[in-house]
Structure 1
């Protein structure tokens, strides 16, 4: 990649790029939840998650005991574990007020809560050791309407997307177990030029530049993201996110 190094890349490199392990990040909480009837007719969700004590098994499909309400769009091997930085909660409290939901981890449906990592210092494809499991960063989160209803804020999903405070997902190439207090240690960083913030901005800013889109296609994108980028490149049009962000009509 020629030209100046993007600020996000510099941040990613400083966090442990070029194969050098980063300082370990302590995990504050591992969280799971069960899928229950949700706010709109026919909907279900496991977004309400609570911290787990002791060791938790982490398998190919995520943390043992964790459930998703709609397996068409949540869960699966590429969205097995969701990590959301607790660092972001202060910014949300500044914007939304001291909501009880923001007092403790779990407001965003995350499975992992921590301090010290964010979308600017985590790169696509990063591999981390957690306990005796290995996690691989597979994609950033594309927020959906369930956040609107969870927070009682009509445009919460759009705010999450626009701010870039989305969190990210892992796949689990090596199952194992872990517990709160364990270290998350970077093992490998194959794509140091692509912190998640850079990739998410390409999507959220509705970029149509052929050069940037072609460069993104060189990455190990999940199938849905690859299809999205290929479609933009072929059609010079951006997708309609209204249904994902606003959701079905409320009954």
Structure 2
């Protein structure tokens, strides 16, 4: 049985890759609202781009979804920043109300318009959020709070528009919310009794490698390069 779950998509957003804040960097994090019908292909929304395809985009990160409810929490933490007044601050492609990391599970399948999507992984925030918000530890805050959002892969291409319903059709791993999986990864867990069950999930290769390395080496990876980024100068 699949729990009936459907939320309305308030916004679909895309952005073009352009030079970013640090020498040699580029990013498509600056997303803008799309009106009308938008095509959804294997690599995400038509017209969306990524500045560094080594770590962003691709089939397992085709679409990024971020809960608009988190914006109120960020305003409480950071103040009423102009960036937090409308969707798109976190580089998301999909903005909704009524769905967060505690309510979706790894492997969940959703229909959106005529497309079929599957939750592939949570977001591992990077230094580009620090520069976008002008907050030196913004990526670390996103990771620590668990307000990461999540990614979809596209199982069936289609099209959608803002206002369409995002409807859950399958939940093969109901015990593994993104909040639980985030906690395993980001709370620096080394307990085999916690890590071993995660290997039974359809983890993306990089996450599976991370869990296996922790089990083998009994140590947590260094996140400083991802979170702090290259020297701004």
Q: TM-score range by the shorter chain?
A: over 0.9
* 1:25–1:115 contact (8 Å) kept in structure 2: yes
Q: What is the match of residue 98 of structure 2?
A: 116
Equivalent residue, structure 2, for 1:53: 35
1:8: which partner in 2? none
Distance in 1 (CA, whole Å) between partners of 2:108 and 2:52 is: 27
Partner of 1:96: 78
Superposition map of 1:79-228 within 5 A: 79-228=61-210
Q: Which residue of structure 2 aligns with residue 6 of structure 1?
A: none
Structure 2 distance, partners of 1:126, 1:25, is: 14
Unmatched 5+ residue regions in structure 1? 1-17
Aligned to 1:237: 219
Equivalent position SS for 1:143: coil
SS at match of 1:214: helix
- Number of residues paired by the alignment? 233
Superposed displacement of residue 19, structure 1: 1.8
1:183-238 Cα shifts (integer Å, max 9, x gaps): 00000000000000000010110000001111000000000000000000001000
Q: 8 Å contact 1:45–1:68 — kept in the other structure?
A: yes
CA-to-aligned-CA distance 1:22-64 (integer Å, 9 cap, x gap): 2x20000000000000000000000000010000000000000
Could you tell me which of 78, 82, 91 is aligned with 2:60?
78
Offset at 1:21?
2.5
Secondary structure class of the residue paired with 1:89: helix
Name the TM-score, length of structure 2 as normaliser: 0.99
Q: C-alpha separation between the residues in 2 aligned to 1:240 and 1:20?
A: 38
Contact preservation (8 Å) 1:21, 1:188: no
Structure 1: 4+ residue segments shifted above 3 A: none
